[in-house]
Structure 1
Amino acid sequence: MKIDRLFVVSLGAITGLASCSSGQEEEAQRPNILILLADDAGYADFGFMGATDIQTPNIDRLAAEGCIFTDAHVAATVSSPSRSMMLTGRYGQRYGYECNLDKPGDGLPDDEELLPALLKRYDYRTGCIGKWHLGSEPSQRPNAKGFDTFYGLLAGHRSYFYNPETSDKDGSLQQYQHNGRKLSFDGYFTDELASKAQQFVTESEQPFMLYMSFTAPHSPNEATEEDLARFEGQPRQKYAAMMYALDRGVGKIVDELKAAGKFDNTIIFFLSDNGGSTTNQSSNLPLKGFKGNKFEGGQRVPFFVVWGDRFKRDQRFTGLTSSLDIFATVVDALDIPEEGLHKPIDGVSLLPYLSGEKSGNPHEALFWRKMDTRAIRSGSYKLIITRGVDSVLYNMDQDVEEMHDLLSSEPEKARELMEQLSEWEQACCKDPLWIEEGWAEITNGLHERLMKNEIRTAQDL
């Protein structure tokens, strides 16, 4: 039978258009991913966490649109391994990454895949803006690890003002760059990074992942004259001004999402990379400890998730949660099959907890290790061990401030947690690929003083 050629062509065109339309709809429905990461922010230094002397109105409004996780932890208590574990969704001890960078060559192994590399296989546009701190070798840099666009610095900190004699001198890892090309900037660095994030949001015509890695409020303690004037007479003037600039940056990014009609379909994660530091004026109260140690002030962080109207607004979730869960939550949201992952992950999707489908603890236990010190949180109990120093046991439901050691009164519970910790180390940990020279000499003594309640916060040093 003879079929009209025009009919065949027309039918093919209609089928093709329908297929194209279906693909565009599917792409439009895939959520954007935005990770907002503060650097060395104090646990108590946001309005949504109870701060009264630090102003963060934009972040507070954003938190009220989602769910605040009150028992959320990063997987490491210092910057570089914390970021590595968040972006791989895996305990860094599985691939020898438990210390901060110590020498050239330290950083991400070639065979570890980051979240952006996974998302690129699903046609996402990926961007990293701000602090990298995951290695400076060509194979370790953002563009090599899955990011299409990188505006920021490879190092762990820099001046908040352009200075060609210090941070921005040739060859410095603190130098501001775009995909390897040196840049200059006017004004304040936090504002500069926020403006690049706004640009990324506006220009993205496909689903995107943006890793917005602020350097604030990490030292050096620098702020604009205008922001300092706002907090004149405040005991933590510089820190308050730096946090205000951080909040302003978050507000501008959220405003851009809303103006572009992308806010409702963007999953937003907000957290700090570790607890407040000894080098800024941050506060982790009522928690004990600070950046670099295994007490709550070093690893429990402000954390919330927002995704349009997908779940109840202004809720608080008390279950045991980890920064490892960001990766798993994104995988779940995109319905990526397990066989689509490069390697098994350690996080748990938070989506069923956000929807109310599940309750309780996403994790039965969480683990930490860096050189001589390791810790486990299992249910209500937490054990900290520093080799050559001491061990302590706390009931976190009754003593979140970690002031009452139960090691001698509950030896069976201590042995139970020691066994769990030992099993984890045997099953999941390899020797560190590098160590931080001089770290043990500093932090082991701090752990001892914290264990004995001789100090509680960085301000006691």
Structure 2
Amino acid sequence: MKARHTILHASIALITLLAGCASPTTPPPVKPNIIVFYVDDLGYADVGCYGARGVATPNIDSLARQGIRFTDAHCGAATCTPSRYSLLTGRYAFRNKAAILPGDAPLLIDTAHHTLPGMLREAGYTTAVVGKWHLGLGIGHIDWNRHIAPGANEVGFDYSFLLPATGDRVPTVYVEDGGVVNLDPTDPISVSYREPFEDTGAVHSDSPKMNADPQHSNTVVNGVSRIGFMKGGRSAHWVDEDFPHVFNEKALAFIDGAKDKPFFLFYSFHDIHVPRMPHADFVGKSTLGPRGDAIAQVDWVVGQIVAALKQKGLADNTLIIFTSDNGPVLDDGYADEAVQRIGDHTPGGPFRGGKYSAYEAGTRVPTIVWWPGHVKPEVSDALLTQVDLVASLAALVHAPAVDNIDSENQLDAWLGQDPTGRKAMIEESFTLSLREGHWKYIQPFTGATPTWMDNKKIEHGLSNVGQLYDLERDPGERQNLAEKLPAQAGRMQRALDAVVAGQKLR
């Protein structure tokens, strides 16, 4: 009996010891709240911490001082719709032939695909998108007077409050969870991107708020002409100047309602896209005209959301990613003095090109990660792409791995624990480019360069020959080394061909 008693006690002690040893090795999953601030058309050097002149951005700069400021982080493409598609799906946009969409385009994202919000929702998050969408809605022809689906809610967002496309395109209405806000059934909306209506039904003005080029001169709402034709829906029309207050109200209401469980907020700015119509509170806040004033407005929005997080005791458990959907553009259809008032400000910093461009400023964008107590303040040169956010955030929240040909788990680099990041990465524009460390290869462009690029003086970087640059010695991409180093250029072209053919980038 005594022997059995001794053995029993020994067994209990051993089990207790093993249990005590096991618990520290299996910590509960870390599930911080996640906010992505996605600014539109914000260039690499358009905020203070990246060298902006003529506009102050104290709230964004504060995030950078307390977090990680990346010097070589990229959006998926040099234009809006493809970048948004890549961020939310983890797929290169060329795989779905994603391009800038009209305002009445069908939903671009396949509802059967895994998405960033869908993955996070499956991991226990409440998810929301507030702001610009521009990824299409519905299937085929959209009836704006009925419930609109599929849309953001069908690709993983529990809540959505959207600009359907962009501020320079009709319809000029908000869509909340699939329904047009404040729509009067007796004044139905009609939208066309093919033929004008006999009467647009919009409010025309003899003294527009700003002049526009012919492309942006179809329907006038709120004193601003837009792309596309629209009539009806007067009670639902937005007021451009109110965007920051309307979006903040919706974002803060979502945070209030979701604070008892982890949440994901995709705060998708319309600023600083055209038409640049900052609220009166921000007019004159910069020396750069409406474009700079819109940057100051973005900074205010960021400050308001961060202040609310701190006030609610949520800041220490919130991961913020601040970034942009593509590089900068000055003249993009409206006469708002962006070119005339640029002064000594250089929106793309030391890099050539900008929005629409194959050059580096097309996709290299300001990128800041802020997570108090979890990331150390630093400047990181890691090579990053927004395509990797799906796989990286899945690793963060311990979600099941998703079979995705393009998105890589680069969580260590995003959190400042890996100084290198990607070994190789695709940059998309009107052609494809490949980054490998400090090497950049732009494949030949065989199409016709759009005339509007020349009219807007866009440094598009398109050429009928391959281009190879050493960004370490030549960040401005001035010296094409393809002829001097044909083996290097050829190898990188073959790597691009393999990715286009469906292989994973090695």
Same-fold call, TM > 0.5?
Answer: yes
The Cα shift of 1:242 comes to 0.8
Task: Name the CA distance, whole Å, in 2 between partners of 1:240 and 1:106.
Answer: 32
Q: Deviations over 1:46-71 (max 9, x none)?
A: 01101131211111101212111111
The code of the aligned residue for 1:107 comes to L
SS state of the match for residue 69, structure 2?
Answer: strand
Matches within 5 A, 1:140-151: 140-151=150-161
The Cα shift of 1:391 comes to 2.2
Q: Is the 8 A contact 1:34 1:269 kept in 2?
A: yes
Which of 150, 174, 177 is equivalent to 2:175?
177
The residue number in structure 1 matching 2:13 is: none
The residue number in structure 2 matching 1:218 is: 273
The code of the aligned residue for 2:295 comes to M
Task: Name the CA distance, whole Å, in 1 between partners of 2:33 and 2:157.
Answer: 15
The residue number in structure 2 matching 1:376 is: 434
The residue number in structure 1 matching 2:371 is: 307
Relative distance call for 1:353 and 1:385 in structure 2 (3 A) is closer
Which of 398, 412, 418 is equivalent to 2:473?
398
Q: Deviations over 1:186-219 (max 9, x none)?
A: 7621222122212221221211000000100000
Structure 2, unpaired ranges of 5+ = 1-26, 139-147, 183-235, 333-337, 339-345, 447-463
User: Does 2:346 align with 1:289?
Assistant: no
The code of the aligned residue for 1:271 comes to T
Q: How many residues align?
A: 382
Task: Name the CA distance, whole Å, in 2 between partners of 1:350 and 1:52.
Answer: 32
Q: Deviations over 1:338-375 (max 9, x none)?
A: 1xx3x425333343235665332x2111113455x221
The Cα shift of 1:229 comes to 3.3
The code of the aligned residue for 1:337 comes to P
User: Does 2:252 align with 1:242?
Assistant: no
Relative distance call for 1:415 and 1:206 in structure 2 (3 A) is same
Relative distance call for 1:200 and 1:401 in structure 2 (3 A) is same
**Which deviates further from its counterpart, 105-114 or 128-137?**
105-114
The code of the aligned residue for 1:156 comes to T
Which of 252, 275, 284 is equivalent to 1:229?
284
Task: Name the CA distance, whole Å, in 2 between partners of 1:346 and 1:320.
Answer: 15
Task: Name the CA distance, whole Å, in 1 between partners of 2:124 and 2:399.
Answer: 13
The code of the aligned residue for 1:267 comes to L
User: Does 2:233 align with 1:195?
Assistant: no
Relative distance call for 1:227 and 1:45 in structure 2 (3 A) is same
User: Does 2:186 align with 1:127?
Assistant: no
Relative distance call for 1:369 and 1:152 in structure 2 (3 A) is closer
Q: Is the 8 A contact 2:393 2:411 kept in 1?
A: no
Q: Deviations over 1:8-39 (max 9, x none)?
A: xxxxxxxxxxxxxxxxxx99952111100000
The Cα shift of 1:249 comes to 0.5
The residue number in structure 2 matching 1:387 is: 445
The residue number in structure 2 matching 1:98 is: 98
The Cα shift of 1:157 comes to 2.4
SS state of the match for residue 162, structure 2?
Answer: strand
Task: Name the CA distance, whole Å, in 2 between partners of 1:245 and 1:369.
Answer: 29
Task: Name the CA distance, whole Å, in 1 between partners of 2:499 and 2:483.
Answer: 24
**Which deviates further from its counterpart, 105-114 or 258-267?**
105-114
User: Does 2:483 align with 1:408?
Assistant: yes
SS state of the match for residue 406, structure 2?
Answer: coil
Q: Deviations over 1:77-120 (max 9, x none)?
A: 111110011011222233x1432225633622232222111222
TM-score (norm 2): 0.71
User: Does 2:167 align with 1:157?
Assistant: yes
Paired-residue identity, %:
30
SS state of the match for residue 382, structure 1?
Answer: strand
The code of the aligned residue for 1:34 comes to I
Task: Name the CA distance, whole Å, in 1 between partners of 2:181 and 2:432.
Answer: 40
Task: Name the CA distance, whole Å, in 1 between partners of 2:362 and 2:150.
Answer: 26
The code of the aligned residue for 1:385 comes to Q
SS state of the match for residue 212, structure 1?
Answer: strand
TM-score (norm 1): 0.78
Aligned Cα RMSD in Å?
A: 2.3
SS state of the match for residue 70, structure 1?
Answer: strand
The Cα shift of 1:411 comes to 1.4
Structure 1, unpaired ranges of 5+ = 1-25, 159-166, 430-461
